């Protein structure tokens, strides 16, 4: 079985969840600045995520949910996901972003994936605590990809990773095929091929006989 692992923010979606959340309490510019540094590998990812989540302390959870409701898949992403699943491919989303935003974006397009590995924003007394929990804070996407291949009985050579930022490098470096989706300059050298649209990605997958 082929496994295709997608990053979410910047890849399947052109939304940036922490920025959408930051727009709810006036910290969006700070969020964007920290995100950019992390994606260019100028700051360690786990530290950048903690810094961004700390800016969200005391944000009412209903405001957080309103931000998650704004998260959308980029044009063509739902079609690629649906085609992969119809072809019997195991589709996973591995993201340092947040489960609720990913789930909402998929729900709006009426598509499902086989696995979502993502982080969570704890809530206490109806407000975000400013902390973050989940497997992709200190954990890296290569480890998550290894677990998925073991679960489904796939060979690592049959994996395809699609991502754009520095935190995608671990899975891009171990996947059988590394696809950069408009990747950051620090990421492009690790990619076997680069695409800028979902239509181009579909062409690559057809060329690899993953899709008919």
E-strand spans in the chain? 3-6, 90-98, 115-119, 123-124, 127-128, 159-163, 177-181, 193-195
Known catalytic residue at 9: yes
The string of DSSP letters for 183-196 reads --TTTGGG-SEEES
Q: Which residue in 9, 158, 164, 168 is the catalytic one?
A: 9
Q: Which residue in 7, 142, 158, 164 is the catalytic one?
A: 7
**Best CA proximity match to 99, nearest among 47, 134, 147, 150:** 134
Residue 189 exposed, middle or buried by CB count within 10 Å (0-12, 13-18, 19+): exposed
Residue 160 pairs in a beta bridge with 4, 177
The residue count of the chain comes to: 212
Known catalytic residue at 7: yes
Q: Tokens representing 176? A: 């059988």
Q: Which residues are catalytic?
A: 7, 9
């Amino acid at each position: 079985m082929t496994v295709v692992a997608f990053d979410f923010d910047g890849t399947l979606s052109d939304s940036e969840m922490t920025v959408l959340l930051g727009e709810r309490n006036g910290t969006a510019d700070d969020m964007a600045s920290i995100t950019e540094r992390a994606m260019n590998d100028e700051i360690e990812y786990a530290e950048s995520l903690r810094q961004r989540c700390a800016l969200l302390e005391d944000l009412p959870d209903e405001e957080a949910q309103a931000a998650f409701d704004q998260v959308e898949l980029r044009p063509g992403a739902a079609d690629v996901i649906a085609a992969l699943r119809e072809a019997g491919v195991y589709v996973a989303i591995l993201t340092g972003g947040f489960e609720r935003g990913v789930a909402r974006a998929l729900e709006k397009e009426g598509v499902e994936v086989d696995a979502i590995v993502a982080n969570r924003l704890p809530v206490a007394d109806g407000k975000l605590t400013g902390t973050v929990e989940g497997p992709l804070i200190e954990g890296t996407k290569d480890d998550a990809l290894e677990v998925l291949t073991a679960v489904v009985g796939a060979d690592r050579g049959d994996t395809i990773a699609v991502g754009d930022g520095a935190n995608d490098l671990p899975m891009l470096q171990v996947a059988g095929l590394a696809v950069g989706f408009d990747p950051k300059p620090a990421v492009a050298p690790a990619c076997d091929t680069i695409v800028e649209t979902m239509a181009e990605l579909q062409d690559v997958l057809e060329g690899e006989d993953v899709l008919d």
